[in-house]
Amino acid sequence: MLRALTSLVFIVFTVAFVAASSGYDAAVDQAQASGWTLPATAKEEKNPLPVNEATLAAGKKLFLQKCQRCHGPEGKGDGPDANHDHHDHMDLTNPKNTANNPDGVVFYKVWNGKQNPKMPVFGDQLTKEQVWAIVTYVQTLRKK
């Protein structure tokens, strides 16, 4: 009995250690499982742009050009090309999505897009700086 208990404790610690050292991250893992392509470091990546009027104005302009048709003018997931079956995830103001979407995660969702439900890849039509500007703007639409 004691030996079984000791082995169990050992296994639990080993799993916890491997998980911690391999950079396992629940938010990134969950996003990947639902079809997004995110590097393991996505959550830690910092927005290189300053949050100021110029960045936000550039981000807003690009958002209206590239994202509005699906996500709507205020990011509520109500654009003309919105996928209504996935409204909860398309609503960028939905407070349930805030914690799972730090800057770096949003960057890669936009950069790499998603197959199903479909969101276009933007890495082949925008620069990194443009995507970071969009990220800066999108984060101002979110509610805590």
Footprint on this chain of ligand HEC (rule: CB under 6 A):
34, 66-67, 69-71, 81, 83, 86, 89-90, 92, 97, 101, 106, 109-110, 114, 117-120, 122, 134, 138
* Shortest Cβ 84–ligand HEC spacing (Å): 10
CB 71 within 8 A of CB 92: yes
CB of 22: closest distance to ligand HEC in angstroms?
Answer: 23
Nearer to ligand HEC among residue 14 and residue 57 (C-beta): 57
Cα separation, 119 vs 59, whole angstroms: 18
Measured CA to CA, the distance from residue 135 to residue 102 in angstroms comes to 9
Q: What is the largest CA-CA distance in the chain?
A: 66
CB 72 within 8 A of CB 79: yes
Which lies closer to ligand HEC via its Cβ, residue 44 or residue 141?
141
Q: How far is the CB of 13 from ligand HEC (least distance, A)?
A: 33
